Amino acid sequence: MCGRTACTLAPDEVSRACSYRHRGGRRRQPRWRDGDADKYRPSYNKNPQSMSPVLLSQRHFDTDAPVDERVLASMRWGLVPSWFKEDDPSKMRYSTSNCRSENILEKKSYKDPLKKGQRCVVLADGFYEWKKQEKGKQPFFIYFPQTQGSSQEKTNHQDEPTTPARKKKNSETAEEASSDFKERGEAAGDWTGWKLLTMAGLFDCWTPPDGGEPLYSYSIITVNASPNLQSIHDRMPAILDGEEEVRRWLDFGQVQSQDALKLLKSKDILTFHPVSTIVNNTRNNSPECLQPVDLNSKKEPKPSASGKMMMSWLSSSSPSKRKEPSTCERKEERESKVQRKSTGAIQQWIQGANKKQRIK
């Protein structure tokens, strides 16, 4: 089951990465729901109960909005049903971080939101899964295969993968384009950075019995693992592959629940690599959580094309909007840096990313 993710893009990057074409054919960038961009905290190691970026139809918040207009919201991972009677979500006696696709229509916690059209897309760089072994469990990072960006960028950087966080000069250009993008409501060009994983989810809105701010929360829908992931785990998130599947899942006005459920299939489209057991501890929040490791050698592994893109992405300069890690996280990163040897490309990548403090 999916119990840990990574989502390291800054709020503005998440918005740009989720650009889409509305029914009129124009490309748009979803805006964050008021105040939600500040609730979202980028992280290399995100666990249930944390706040994550979720994509959904604007009509859930504005009945006059076109059903195909999208909005980004920060929601708590772990669905809290609207009918929950306790005064604290932590008092729930069962886990709702995942929802099995086979049981959606059998459990009230998921059946009610589905009938109301409360479908969402959970966003992440990728997710972690643990493979059982004779001695403990080996974690893996699983994500969409990454591709190069536009033809112009390929010409200028033949040997350098495209990255969502640019060098300073390119970052300034991207920010200017993003600003123009928001003003005109359409994109000057497609997003060429890290391709976010799009997972099918259900959400609900719970209000404390004594009143207070409503809490929006979600559950990730899971299906049987695809052939290439079965050796790691028997389940995987229901992946929405491509803009059309995302559109159909979110369009609760035109696509009825029974038809939407047909999208929840096992898809053999993800790639993965083993990572360090440092990710086992949720307090560890550094690029090392994503570092590829070689299970058969003490030498540094040769990264794949997607792995190279990840390294370049994490080591590049970061936007100013990222939030500072907690004091505990900074202390752990400093201690980890002292212990690591400064050899190999992977180590240089990790050290460079730590110095530049991507997650802020």
Give the position of tokens 């360090």: 276
Cα gap 37→34, rounded to integer Å: 8
- Please tell me whether residue 157 adopts helix, strand or coil conformation: coil
- Please tell me whether residue 258 adopts helix, strand or coil conformation: helix
Cα gap 67→90, rounded to integer Å: 33
The CA-based angle 97-87-7, given to 5 degrees, is 30
153 has catalytic annotation = no
State the Cα torsion 17-20-26-30 to the nearest 10°: -70
Query: Which residues, in sequence order, are bridge partners of residue 237?
Result: 222
Read out DSSP for 97-152?
A: SEEEGGGTTT-HHHHHHHHTT-EEEEEESEEEEEEE-SSSEEEEEEEPPP----HH
205 has catalytic annotation = no
From the candidates 2, 99, 120, 289, give the one annotated as an active-site residue: 2
From the candidates 13, 129, 288, 332, give the one annotated as an active-site residue: 129
Catalytically active residues are 2, 129
